[in-house]
Amino acid sequence: MNHHAHKRVAASTVAASMSSIVLSVIASSHHWLHMLILLILGGSTSTLAATTGVLWARRAMIFVSIISTAFALYRLLKRKHMPLWMRGITSLSVLVSTAFILYTLYQFGW
């Protein structure tokens, strides 16, 4: 393998690893984005109660959560030789995100 091809493979591996970590963190902590949206909408406790009326925002958050969880699961299943710690973080992320999605759908509906 020539030197340039080796650098490309190494860069691709690093990019894939970093993207998996970033997406795992986003998938398991996307509630920070929810809180940011609540802060922008008004930032009070009453805003939290009022979000049941902001149907488009709730649906968008659920949709993004489903997409990020599906992508994390896809990466988990596609990358069979992922390091154990990365597999654990991604698995935990998928479980937590799925639980949040199901809880939200159960409590508030679509």
Q: pTM, whole model, 2 decimals?
A: 0.56
- Decide if 75 contacts 90 (C-beta within 8 A): yes
The answer to whether residue 54 sits within a structural domain is yes
The number of domains in the chain is 1
**pLDDT value for 95:** 86
Q: In this structure, are residues 96 and 28 in contact, taking their beta carbons and an 8 Å threshold? A: yes
Query: Mean pLDDT over all residues of the chain?
Result: 74
Q: What is the pLDDT of residue 31?
A: 65
- Look at residue 44 in the predicted model and tell me its pLDDT: 58
Asked if residue 1 belongs to a domain, the reply is no
CA distance 8 to 55: 45
Give domain status of residue 102, yes or no: yes
Residue 7 within a domain:
no
Per-residue confidence (pLDDT) for residue 53, from 0 to 100: 64
Q: How far is Cα 40 from Cα 106, in angstroms, rounded to an integer? A: 26
**Under-70 pLDDT residues of the chain:** 1-12, 16, 24, 26-53
Q: Note whether residue 9 is domain-resident.
A: no
Which residue in this structure is represented by tokens 């988990």? 76
- CA–CA separation, 75 and 82 (whole Å): 9
Which residue range(s) make up the domain with 61? 19-108
pLDDT at 11: 65
